[in-house]
Chain A
Amino acid sequence: MNISLSINGIKHEADVEPRLLLVHFIRDLVGLTGTHIGCETSICGACTVFLDGKPVKSCTILAVQADGTEITTIEGLAKNGQFHPVQEGFWECHGLQCGFCTTGMIMAVCGLLQENPQPTEEQIRHGLEGNLCRCTGYQHIVDSVQYAANKLKTQSAKAD
Chain B
Amino acid sequence: MIPNNFEYFAPTSIDEAVKLLEKHGDDCKILSGGHSLIPALKLRLAAPAVVLDIGRIKELKQIKIDGNTIRIGANATHSEIANSAELKQHCPLLGETAAQIGDQQVRNRGTLGGSLTHADPAADWPAAMLALNAEIVVRSGKGERVIKAADFFVDIMTSAVQPHEIVTEIRVPKPAQPNAAVYLKVPQSASGYAVVGVAAQLKINNGQCEDVSIGVTGLAPKAFRAKSVEDALRGKALDEGTVSAATAKADADASDAMEDIHASGDYRRHLARVYAKRAVQTAASRA
Query: What residues make up the interface of A, taking CB atoms closer than 8 Å to B?
Result: 1, 17-19, 21, 37, 40-43, 45, 48, 51, 54-57, 59-62, 64-65, 67, 108, 111-112, 115, 127-131
Contact A40 B192, CB 8 Å, known A57-B105, A112-B104: no
> Is the CB of B55 closer than 8 A to any CB of chain A?
yes
13 new A-B contacts, CB < 8 A, other than A19-B3, A21-B2, A56-B109, are: A19-B41, A21-B3, A21-B38, A37-B1, A40-B43, A41-B39, A42-B38, A59-B1, A61-B34, A65-B53, A115-B104, A129-B103, A130-B103
CB-contact partner of B8 in A57, A64, A115, A131, under 8 A: A64
- 17 A-B pairs whose Cβ atoms sit less than 8 Å apart in the complex: A19-B3, A19-B5, A21-B3, A21-B38, A41-B39, A41-B43, A41-B191, A42-B102, A42-B106, A55-B108, A59-B1, A62-B31, A65-B31, A65-B34, A65-B55, A130-B105, A130-B106
B35 / chain A contacts, CB cutoff of 8 Å: 42, 60
CA gap between A60 and B79 in the complex, in Å: 16
A59 / chain B contacts, CB cutoff of 8 Å: 1, 42
Which chain B residue lies CB-closest to A111? B104
Binary contact readout B2-46 vs A (1 if CB under 8 angstroms, 0 otherwise): 111111101000000000000000000001001100110111000
Shortest distance from the beta carbon of A76 to any chain B beta carbon, whole Å: 17
B39 / chain A contacts, CB cutoff of 8 Å: 40-42, 60
Q: Find out whether the CB atom of A55 lies under 8 angstroms from the CB atom of B105.
A: yes
User: Which are the 3 A-B pairs with shortest beta-carbon distances?
Assistant: A130-B103, A18-B8, A19-B3
CB-contact partner of A19 in B4, B79, B106, under 8 A: B4
> Is the CB of B261 closer than 8 A to any CB of chain A?
no
CB-contact partner of B192 in A1, A65, A129, under 8 A: A129
Shortest distance from the beta carbon of B131 to any chain A beta carbon, whole Å: 23
Binary contact readout B72-92 vs A (1 if CB under 8 angstroms, 0 otherwise): 000000010000000000000
B104 / chain A contacts, CB cutoff of 8 Å: 55, 108, 111-112, 115, 127, 129-130
Q: Find out whether the CB atom of A62 lies under 8 angstroms from the CB atom of B38.
A: yes
A54 / chain B contacts, CB cutoff of 8 Å: 79, 108
CA gap between A37 and B104 in the complex, in Å: 18
Shortest distance from the beta carbon of A92 to any chain B beta carbon, whole Å: 24
Query: What residues make up the interface of B, taking CB atoms closer than 8 Å to A?
Result: 1-8, 10, 31, 34-35, 38-39, 41-43, 51, 53, 55, 79, 102-106, 108-109, 190-192
Shortest distance from the beta carbon of A63 to any chain B beta carbon, whole Å: 11
Shortest distance from the beta carbon of A158 to any chain B beta carbon, whole Å: 28
CA gap between A95 and B10 in the complex, in Å: 41
Q: Find out whether the CB atom of B31 lies under 8 angstroms from the CB atom of A40.
A: no
CA gap between A19 and B50 in the complex, in Å: 11
A127 / chain B contacts, CB cutoff of 8 Å: 104
A17 / chain B contacts, CB cutoff of 8 Å: 5
A21 / chain B contacts, CB cutoff of 8 Å: 2-3, 38, 42
Q: Find out whether the CB atom of B43 lies under 8 angstroms from the CB atom of A45.
A: no
A65 / chain B contacts, CB cutoff of 8 Å: 31, 34, 53, 55
Shortest distance from the beta carbon of B123 to any chain A beta carbon, whole Å: 14
CA gap between A140 and B226 in the complex, in Å: 44
